[in-house]
Structure 1
Amino acid sequence: MHPADFVFPAAGVKLPPGGLVLQTSDAAQRELESLLEFYLASGLDCFLEEDAVDRFALSAELARAQAEARTSAPARPAAHSAPIQSGGPAQQSRPQAPASPTREPSAANAPISGGAFADAVVPDTEAIHAARDAARTAQTLDELKSCLQAFNGCNLRLTAKNLVFADGNPNARVMIIGEAPGRDEDLQGKPFVGRSGQLLDKMLGAVGLDRSSVYIANVVPWRPPGNRTPTPQETEICRPFIARQIELAAPDVLVFLGAASAKTLLDVQDGIRRMRGRWMTYDCNGRKIPSLATYHPAYLLRSPIEKRLSWRDFLSLRQKLSEDANS
């Protein structure tokens, strides 16, 4: 059901026993539509259980149970004490303490088997090194995609439905890089196919480009749960793969959508307002690639007044491509 099909009661209006009021003000209806859109953007697109499940507690319980299983040893029978042969009367009359019975492992302490987080890993430096080693082995983009599909060092793969590797033309002169996929991208396995992607297509079309003339990817190829921001550890683990992807695609120009992707790959700390519209350089193993940062389409959907600045950025991109073609 579309959010527009719902009607929300105005503030202060009591609900009848039957549920929501069916007719109310337009402002209240827009309020509900915004709330439902927020839930969808946060990944809450269906109800799986009546009660909330604390996944953090489950993963902590899993780690604790696995640690106990590794360190526990078979219980040894209690040794029988030898009779006391000497000592004072107090020692001879002291009763022997009964041997403690062997405690059977309870269901609560039993190792947890299976489950969505059974293959979870610790996102430490070892995972980062494993990502670097795996990315180096790829000699083509297809091999790199296979490496990512087989890579188990990033826990985002456990909650994502699909790997979102790339879309467009890998031989294009322009490579566009975002931060991470969203709900629609996760469902289809392609980057920028939701509302942000539709706006990006219009922005590209305005300067004579389309998906056949650009190559699109993300720094993080798996959707974070609820469209949350990827953690620094998750970004750092995925960074070797996007760096190798840039190297194999060998574009003439890089376009970063949003500050996150630009900061990750350009090692800068400026905000997007200071970075956008300014040509920078990405060092790809000694090859200097001109790079341009601009606003993310998702931000432009929330702040349409900033589209004028993104339009200037894309005009600058078109001019750069034209200059390089004529040189």
Structure 2
Amino acid sequence: MTPESAPTIQQLLAFYLEAGVDCALTDEPVNRLSDPDIMSITREAAPAQPVRTIPAPPAAIPAARAEAPAAPEAAILSAREAARTASSLEALRALMETFDGCALKSTATRLVFADGNPQARIMFVGEAPGREEDIEGLPFVGRSGKLLDRMIAAIGLDRSSVYIANVIPWRPPGNRTPTPQETQICLPFIQRQIELVNPDVLVTLGNPSTQTLLSTREGIMKTRGRWFDYDTGTRTIRALATFHPAYLLRSPSYKRMAWQDLRAIAKALEQVSA
């Protein structure tokens, strides 16, 4: 690596945050492999002879797979049934607190259900909580949350007049991308949440929430600024896709496009009120 291409401290810190390293245990890095005590323990614990692994016969593998339960499918069905029975946001939250079908719950600190006004005319939906959200139990409270606050303030709104949630209510370990199975398990909950809030305008923040909720395979560059019809089963809600605030922090040049989207949202709210 040449000096010209060497990353800066800020770039390295950003890389570690993206990788999920969000806290330090000591002030200086420690090379555990150079510790003589650990190396001696490792040598003593090493087996005298290599352990052979005998593979299972080919015929046994299909049989074992056939007997394994379809856990993800069962979890999705369970989530659908649970979400369908929730008659209020309070009941939905209580169901999600006791739901054990998503493995993300076991690694997260707490459920990140929602923030804002349940009677709001506009609802924002992101992808999943981050570290700060996991600690506080509220969506969009970190750097991206502060930017979202400024974005909605630009059109005369604040958290008391909007409703904010995520497709995934539990933080994935290390802020990794949720798997398709995890998304499908959590999908019935956010769908019911949207139905219960019943906003006039739904705003999907970023590519994952847009593709999941608006049933499109196109990227955010093609979907942002476009209006979609979101069908709750009882009503059709106008939905608009725009950039996730975290993306705007990394790519501030797109804030101009986001401002255009915000103006379209404000105009739509005015039309509904007229």
Taking a change above 3 Å as real, the CA distance of residues 232 and 142 of structure 1, as seen in their structure-2 partners, is same
Amino acid paired to 1:305: S
SS of the residue corresponding to residue 8 of structure 2 reads: helix
| CA pair 122-194 structure 1, distance change in 2 beyond 3 A | farther
Distance (whole Å) between structure 1 residues aligned to residue 18 and residue 170 of structure 2? 16
2:221 maps to what in 1? 273
Q: 1:233 to 1:139 in 2, by over 3 A?
A: same
Structure 2 gap ranges (5+): 34-68
**Which residue of the partner structure matches residue 54 of structure 2?**
none
Equivalent residue in structure 1 for 2:75, among 104, 108, 127: 127
Correspondences of 1:91-130 after superposition (within 5 Å): 123-130=71-78
CA deviation map 1:46-81 (0-9, x unaligned): 3579879xxxxxxxxxxxxxxxxxxxxxxxxxxxxx
Query: Structure 2: how far apart are the matches of 1:262 and 1:301?
Result: 19
Aligned residue in 1 for 2:168: 220
**Gap change, CA 1:247 and 1:292, over 3 Å in 2:** same
Are 2:155 and 1:207 equivalent residues in the alignment?
yes
In the alignment, structure 1 residue 164 sits paired with structure 2 residue 118: no
Secondary structure of the 1:293 match is: strand
Structure 1 window deviating more from structure 2 (238-247 vs 42-51): it is: 42-51
Q: Which residue of 12, 16, 21 maps to 1:44?
A: 21
Q: Over residues 151-177 of structure 1, what are the superposed CA-to-partner deviations in whole Å (9 max), with x where a residue is unaligned?
A: 000000111111100000010000000
Q: What is the CA-CA distance between 1:45 and the residue it aligns to?
A: 2.4
Q: Distance in 1 between matches of 2:20 and 2:143?
A: 15
Please identify which structure carries the higher helix content: 2
Sort the Cα spacing of 1:234 and 1:48 in 2 relative to 1 into closer, same or farther, 3 A: farther
Is the CA contact (8 Å cut-off) linking 1:123 and 1:233 kept in structure 2?
no
Distance (whole Å) between structure 1 residues aligned to residue 217 and residue 2 of structure 2: 43
- Superposition misfits of 4+ residues, deviation over 6 angstroms: 48-52
Deviation digits for residues 266-323 of structure 1, max 9, x if unmatched?
1111111111111111001131100000000011011100000000000000000011
Question: What is the count of residue pairs matched by the alignment?
Answer: 235
Q: What residue number does 1:90 align with?
A: none
Q: Which residue of 2 aligns with 1:235?
A: 183
Residues 239-286 of structure 1: CA deviation (Å, up to 9, x unaligned):
000001011111111000011111111111111111111111100113
1:37 CA displacement:
3.1
1:252 to 171, 188, 200: 200
The root-mean-square deviation of aligned C-alpha atoms, in Å, is 2.3
Query: Structure 1 residue 40: deviation in Å?
Result: 3.0
- For the pair shown, the structure with the greater C-alpha radius of gyration is 1
What is the match of residue 32 of structure 1?
A: 9
Cα distance in 1 for residues equivalent to 2:70 and 2:192: 23
Aligned partners of 2:120 and 2:199 also within 8 Å? yes
How many Å apart are 1:123 and its aligned residue? 4.8
Contact in 2 for aligned 1:256/1:291 (Cα 8 Å):
yes
Give the letter aligned to residue 250 of structure 2.
Answer: R
- Give the structure 1 partner of residue 144 of structure 2: 196
Is 1:286 the counterpart of 2:219? The answer is: no
- Match for 2:77: what amino acid? H
Deviation for aligned residue 1:32: 1.6
Unaligned residue ranges in structure 1 (runs of 5+)? 1-9, 13-24, 53-120
TM-score for the superposition, normalised by structure 1: 0.68
Q: Does 1:305 align with 2:253?
A: yes
With 127-136 and 35-44 compared, the bigger mean Cα shift is at 35-44
